[in-house]
Amino acid sequence: MHELSDQGLEEMAALLAVLDNGGFAPAARVLGRDPSVLSRRVSALERRLGVRLLERTTRRVTPTEAGRRFADRTRVALTLLADAEREAADAGAAPQGTLRLSLPEAFGRLWIAPLLPDFLAAYPRVRVEAFYSDRFVDLVGEGIDLAIRIGRLSDSSLVARKLGVERRLICAAPSYLAARGTPQMPTDLAAHDGLLFALFDSPSEWHFNRAREHARVRVSGPLLTDNAESLVHAAVAGKGILMCSEWLVGRELTSGRLVRLLPDWAVGGNTGGEAAIHLVRPSGRFTAGKTRAFADWVAARLSPLPWDPPVQEPSDRRVNRANTMP
């Protein structure tokens, strides 16, 4: 196994500088060195490898095929070394710096915003810039360190960490059900008032699946909006039946202000099925301590998912426990 010396690193850096700047003289000006120094280093590298890496003329310098392949590998190797150094230094220091977050509007306000004060208290050297929006955000182009994405991930260039499954359901207030009755089948919804979310692919067309059964129902009602939280307020007030994500109404279901309907049917959009909630970040190899710290913080506090219904013990176990003497 060959050991990589400081001299070898300097030789590789000289080669890349020459290629990146189009010659020895331009590279020397950028690096603040004499062109003869760079020339000697590249020549030493060629002798050590036993292959010509550059074709030199009085007008220009171009890489040979071997030189091009070597330069490509060298860039990767030097990037990995730099990342390793930064990661090692970062691991020994407290997370610090500005952390830029992109959060879905309603989800971020409901479930992430309440966590931020405790995170800032635990990591006083981190400054958070949190942006709440349902638009698609280019993480690299907008300088975002970490984002939460809900649904199916389409960008394979992102590094993703799954927080949980995202399920849809339908629900209504007890007051609405007392006045209008409780639907027993998806087709019954056509006779009810629907509260419609404008950002769904087909707001007024609701899909249901159960085993091999599929139902598609056209729903109309008194409210169509792109603000999910206003739909929850309307549902709690008894104005209709709401189809939404489980996380949006978890607290209302727990408190009894809303009741889940048709629980044995899976609720979906045009395609049905389950999506997921992910933490995502750009795919750069190095991940700063501030980013890792926040990702771990959020994952720990959303496990188990706070909007999931509590697991109920079988009724016979509860009875047996009640009859057991302490």
From first to last of its 326 residues, what are the pLDDT tens digits of the chain?
A: 455 567 878 888 888 888 888 888 888 888 888 888 888 888 988 898 888 888 887 778 888 988 888 888 888 777 767 666 666 655 556 788 999 999 999 999 999 999 999 999 999 999 999 999 988 888 888 889 999 999 887 766 788 899 988 899 999 999 999 999 999 999 999 999 999 999 888 899 999 999 889 999 999 999 999 999 999 999 999 999 999 999 999 999 999 999 999 999 999 754 444 589 999 998 765 568 899 999 999 999 998 888 886 544 444 444 344 333 33
DSSP E strands, the chain? 54-56, 61-63, 97-103, 126-132, 146-151, 158-166, 168-172, 193-197, 205-210, 213-218, 220-225, 241-245, 259-261, 266-268, 275-282
Dist. CA 281–CA 161, nearest whole Å: 9
* pTM (two decimals): 0.66
SS3 102: strand
Using CA atoms, how far residue 287 sits from 74, 273, 282, in Å, is: 21, 33, 9
Dist. CA 62–CA 75, nearest whole Å: 17
Query: Which strand (E) or helix (H) includes residue 86?
Result: helix 65-91
Dist. CA 87–CA 63, nearest whole Å: 32
